[in-house]
């Protein structure tokens, strides 16, 4: 049974984006994993059974009842270090994403509205950011601003922001130039109305996808930087830092790098899964999902509503292949019946070009 078929049918009107997204099995799996990560990020240090900085003589111990994941080269409990390192690792990714979102998405949307000068300037800044070498820039920023996780994340967030700028700008450009936005304008809608009713709904899903992807990528970046000792220096615990110290003692504990690696990979995987789910639940695919759910027929659903699309009326069926003049009075004045294949403008315009 598919996830969509097992989900309860939704009412015709009650279909919030959230309701649509939880219908996807991938979103539910991602949600469970990310809930676990959230618990680690908020309660990790208090859950740690030992002091993550406490050295003991029991070095490089194998997993046991006392130390579930063993101890590292200074005799520190690995589980405690992973738990205590969770906030820094996850919050680092959040910082990257929030900075990238604010620095990227907002100017991306505004570039469509604030005129050519702003558009030109922001586009050039984005081009420049894309051209900067990633790690070198992060190292230089921490050298300039001090070796802290926030400084490092500021650098990374700036470098990632072009993704948000482009995604937001592309979605906004499409929605602003769309005929439905023009139709609203012709009905007297203000710019704010058009943005609120038409543009935001088009911009948010791609930004949501980029957000989830960036969280995953940000986590890898934080892990990489802390692995290199940039942003957070030993002995402060981080997922990347634990991995780095474990890699030095592969001869003693060859399995040890698996613990931080699995944690990092699982979290990144969940974020990517969430990104896929957001994409599937938004736009045309989201409507198709809703469509199937409403029919209550799962993936093979065909009969959605008896009236949609309505069968052609007998008169419409009669008209197949030719355009009849609907007005009898007009027809008597101008006896016009044009076969649908003959289009005067085609030939006329063809001539006009000669």
Partner 1 sequence: MSGDSVLQVRDLDVHLGRGTARQHVIRGATFRLRPGEAVGLIGETGSGKSTIARAILGLVRPSGGSVQVDGHELVRRSAGAWRRLRREGAVQYVFQDPLRSLDPDHRVGDSVGEPLRIRGVAGPEVRERVAEELRRVNLDPALADRFPSELSGGQRQRIAIARALITKPRVLILDEPVSALDSANRVAVLRLLESLRASDVTLLFISHDLGSVAGVTDRTLVLHQGRIVEDGPTSRVVNAPAHPYTRLLIGSAPTLRSGAIDADERALLRAELAASEG
Is residue 284 at the binding interface for partner 1, with CB under 8 A as the rule? yes
Q: Which one, 145 or 338, has the nearer CB to partner 1?
A: 338
* DSSP letter assigned to residue 199: I
Q: Would you tell me how many other CB atoms lie within 10 Å of the CB of residue 20?
A: 22
Residue 230, phi-psi category: left (phi > 0), alpha (psi -120 to 50), beta (remainder)? beta
Query: Is 18 a residue that touches partner 1 (CB under 8 A)?
Result: no
Question: Is residue 102 a contact partner of residue 109, using CB atoms and an 8 Å limit?
Answer: no
Residue 8 as a binder of partner 1 (CB under 8 A): the answer is no
Would you say 169 and 123 are in contact if contact means Cβ atoms under 8 Å apart?
A: no
| Site membership for partner 1, residue 9 (CB under 8 A) | no
The piece of 86-94, 232-240, 256-264, 313-321 that touches partner 1 (CB under 8 A) is 313-321
Q: Is 16 in the site for partner 1 (CB under 8 A)?
A: no
Residues near partner 1 (CB under 8 A), total: 64
Q: Supply the minimum distance, in Å, between the C-beta of residue 54 and partner 1.
A: 55
- Confirm or reject binding of residue 303 to partner 1 (CB under 8 A): no
- Straight-line distance from the first to the last Cα atom of the chain, in angstroms, rounded to the nearest whole number: 62
Segment near partner 1 (CB under 8 A); pick from 133-141, 215-223, 242-250, 312-320: 312-320
Going by C-alpha positions, the residue among 53, 47, 42 that lies closest to residue 77 is 53
Counting contacts by CB under 8 A, is residue 198 touching partner 1? yes
Looking at the Cβ atoms of 8 and 333, the one nearer to partner 1 is: 333
Instruction: For residues 22 and 32, give the distance between their C-alpha atoms in angstroms, rounded to a whole number.
Output: 11
- Choosing from 1, 8, 12, 18, the residue that interacts with partner 1 (CB under 8 A) is 12
Residue from 124, 196, 197, 299 binding partner 1 (CB under 8 A): 197
- How far is it, in rounded angstroms, from Cα 303 to Cα 293? 12
- E strands, the chain, are 322-323, 338-339
Residues linked to residue 77 through DSSP beta bridges, in sequence order = 71
Segment near partner 1 (CB under 8 A); pick from 56-64, 158-166, 222-230, 284-292: 284-292
Closer to partner 1 by CB, 1 or 187: give it: 187
Residue with tokens 């929030």: 98
In the bound complex, what is the minimum distance in angstroms from residue 339's beta carbon to partner 1?
A: 5
Distances (CA, A) of 180 to 55, 98, 165, 189, 197: 65, 31, 23, 11, 10
Q: What is the DSSP letter of 341?
A: T
Q: Which of residues 117, 188, 300, 302 is near partner 1 by CB under 8 A?
A: 188
Gyration radius of the chain over CA positions: 29
If binding is defined by CB under 8 A, does position 323 make contact with partner 1?
yes
Nearer to partner 1 by C-beta: 121 or 336? 336
* Contacting positions for partner 1 (CB under 8 A): 12-13, 178-180, 182-190, 193, 197-198, 201-202, 283-284, 287, 291, 304-305, 307-310, 312-313, 315-317, 319-327, 330-331, 333-340, 342-349, 351-352, 354
């Amino acid at each position: 049974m598919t996830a969509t078929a097992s989900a309860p049918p939704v009412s015709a009107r009650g279909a919030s984006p959230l309701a649509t997204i939880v219908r996807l099995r991938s979103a539910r799996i991602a949600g469970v994993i990310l809930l676990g990560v959230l618990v680690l990020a908020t309660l990790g240090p208090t859950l740690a059974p030992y002091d993550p900085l406490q050295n003991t003589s029991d070095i490089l111990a194998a997993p046991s009842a006392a130390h579930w994941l063993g101890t590292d080269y200074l005799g520190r409990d690995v589980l405690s270090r992973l738990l205590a390192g969770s906030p820094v690792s996850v919050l680092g990714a959040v910082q990257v994403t929030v900075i990238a979102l604010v620095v990227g998405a907002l100017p991306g949307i505004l570039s469509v509205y604030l005129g050519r000068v702003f558009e030109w300037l922001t586009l050039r800044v984005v081009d420049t950011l894309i051209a900067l070498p990633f790690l070198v820039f992060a190292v230089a920023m921490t050298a300039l601003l001090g070796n802290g996780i926030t400084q490092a994340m500021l650098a990374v967030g700036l470098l990632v922001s072009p993704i948000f700028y482009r995604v937001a700008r592309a979605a906004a450009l499409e929605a602003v130039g769309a005929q439905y936005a023009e139709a609203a304008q012709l009905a007297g809608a203000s710019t704010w109305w058009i943005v609120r009713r038409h543009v935001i709904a088009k911009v948010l899903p791609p930004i949501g996808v980029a957000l989830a992807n960036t969280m995953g990528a940000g986590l890898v970046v934080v892990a990489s930087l802390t692995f290199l000792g940039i942003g957070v220096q030993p002995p402060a615990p981080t997922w990347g830092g634990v991995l780095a110290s474990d890699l030095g003692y592969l001869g003693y504990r060859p399995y040890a790098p698996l613990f931080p690696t699995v944690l990092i990979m699982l979290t990144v995987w969940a974020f990517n899964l969430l990104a896929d789910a957001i994409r599937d639940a938004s736009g045309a695919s989201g409507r198709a999902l809703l469509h199937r759910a409403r029919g209550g027929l799962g993936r093979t659903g065909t009969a959605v509503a008896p009236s949609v699309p309505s069968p052609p009326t007998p008169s419409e069926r009669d008209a197949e292949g030719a355009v009849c003049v609907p007005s009898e009075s007009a027809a008597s004045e101008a006896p016009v019946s044009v076969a649908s294949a003959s289009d005067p403008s085609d030939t006329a315009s063809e001539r006009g070009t000669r």
